[in-house]
Amino acid sequence: MAGGDAELMTTPIRPTDDEARLLARRLLHDARHGALGVIDPASGAPMVSRVAVGHDGRDPLILISSLSRHWHGIVAHPSCSLMVGDPGPKGDPLTFPRLTLQAQAEPEEKAAWREIWLASHPKTALYFDFADFSLYRLRVSSAFLNGGFGRAYELTRDDLEFRAPA
């Protein structure tokens, strides 16, 4: 096997182009929920759970309860991961695109983002104001886009074009 082929086999990452950047931004923008990965402080093992995801053009927001396991996880270890992008109802789920963010979770002022959050998540008005619910902002360091079988891209924070913090 030629050296070039061997390299291809061990490095399936494609060069990031505008199509990949656009797909990643669309997947994130459209996401209303995601799979959050945190370190379980009790065991040190990874733990995945579903969270609500919101957007204001900056790094994404999540709404979580302090009665939940993932809340204890990100308080102990703010490094976390969020996957967004649902597969369609038919076909191989692995052929649908998804985006994984690597991020640091930072507490956000809930009252300041109430209107923005409820605009995209009106049904969470039932519990948004509960004392145990908090908004966290996921400060993204990098992202991994799987655009479908064999279409993988490593993205930088800049590729996602977040607005600057207020």
Other CB atoms closer than 10 Å to residue 163's CB: what's the count? 9
Q: How far is the CB of 130 from a copy of itself (least distance, A)?
A: 10
Binding mask 106-135 for a copy of itself (x = CB under 8 A): ---------------x-xx-xx----x---
27, 146 contact by CB (below 8 A): no
Indicate which single residue of 9, 111, 164, 166 sits in contact with a copy of itself (rule: CB under 8 A).
9
| Residue numbers 19-58 binding a copy of itself by CB under 8 A | 32-33, 35-40, 43-52
Residue 65 vs 162, nearer CB to a copy of itself: 65
- Does 105 bind a copy of itself (CB under 8 A)? Our answer is no
Of 148, 48, 57, the C-alpha closest to 99 is 148
Q: Answer for the pair 110, 36: CB distance below 8 angstroms, yes or no.
A: no
Q: How far is the CB of 112 from a copy of itself (least distance, A)?
A: 22
Structural contact between residues 54 and 63, judged by C-beta atoms closer than 8 angstroms: yes
Distance CA 73, CA 55 (A): 22
- Which secondary-structure segment (H or E) carries 116? helix 114-120
Write out the residues near a copy of itself by the rule CB under 8 A: 9-10, 12, 32-33, 35-40, 43-52, 67, 69, 79-83, 86-87, 91-95, 98, 100, 102, 121, 123-124, 126-127, 132, 144, 146, 149
